[in-house]
Structure 1
Amino acid sequence: MKIGELAERTGTSRRLLRYYEEQGLITPHRALNGYREYQESHVHIVLQIKGLLDAGLPTRIIRQLLPCLDRPSTIYVPNVTPEMVATLQREQARLSERIECLTRNRDAIADYLDTVLGVRSSPATAVGGPYPPG
């Protein structure tokens, strides 16, 4: 398949697919005319790359993990190195911190909205706002 079809099937821009190629994350075959040709397996690889990027993993770590992806949605690491374990543990801790921060921010926004919506629905706001006319 051509780059446009892969882009459409994965919801990934052509530019980003070329970036994945530059980073060594995907390797298309080249036709005689120089066009990139992708296999069906590239669809699953690109979706996994997107998922790992969305989780916050940098491309340098994804590049290390890709050889371990043997099936869609499955990560299998037969010969994991201590360095890889340490890297993944650091990334896991970083993601956990990020999740905690996002959770706090989400809860703060929810509290703010509850307050704002509670004020707006009170009888005082329906007449002219929470403050006396000035």
Structure 2
Amino acid sequence: MRIGELAARAGVSVRSLRYYEEQGLLTSTRSASGQRHYTEAHVERVTFLQRMYAAGLSSRTIVELLPCVDSPSESTSDAALERMAEERERLSAHIEELVRTRDALDVLMAVNRAHRESIRRLPSA
């Protein structure tokens, strides 16, 4: 199948597929005229890549995890699990920072509400 059909079947843009190829996440064969051609297995591969992105993983991290998919072994599985654990820790730290940031914003909003209320109580001129 050609790139447009793969994009439609996998629910992604043609641009995304080209990006996946640039990043080494997806490969295609080329026709004599240079058109990309994909197999049915590529639909599953793109769906897998989408799940990885939805889990917050970067292209660079996904490349690191692909040996577990492409050449499964106990070693590649262990390495992938360790890498995913590192990413989970990174995400958890980011979530904690976002919670602190939200809490700081809540304080500012409370100060603003109190200030607004004090303005409301001032005698009108």
TM range (shorter): 0.5 to 0.7
Instruction: Check the 8 A contact 2:65/2:83 in 1, yes or no.
Output: no
- In structure 2, the residue matched to 1:44 is 44
**How many angstroms does 1:63 deviate by?**
2.8
Count how many residue pairs are aligned between Structure 1 and Structure 2: 116
TM-score (structure 1 length as normaliser): 0.61
Gaps of 5+ in 2: 120-125
- In structure 2, the residue matched to 1:66 is 69
Higher relative contact order (CA 8 A, sep 6+): 2
**Structure 1 residues 73-118: Cα deviation after superposition (integer angstroms, max 9, x where no partner):** xxxx5xx233x24422431331232022112112112201211221
| Percentage of pairs with the same residue | 28
1:119 equivalent in alignment to 2:111: yes
- In structure 2, the residue matched to 1:95 is 87
Extract structure 1 runs of 4+ deviating beyond 6 A.
Answer: none
Q: Give me the whole-angstrom Cα distance separating, in 2, the residues matched to 1:87 and 1:111.
A: 36
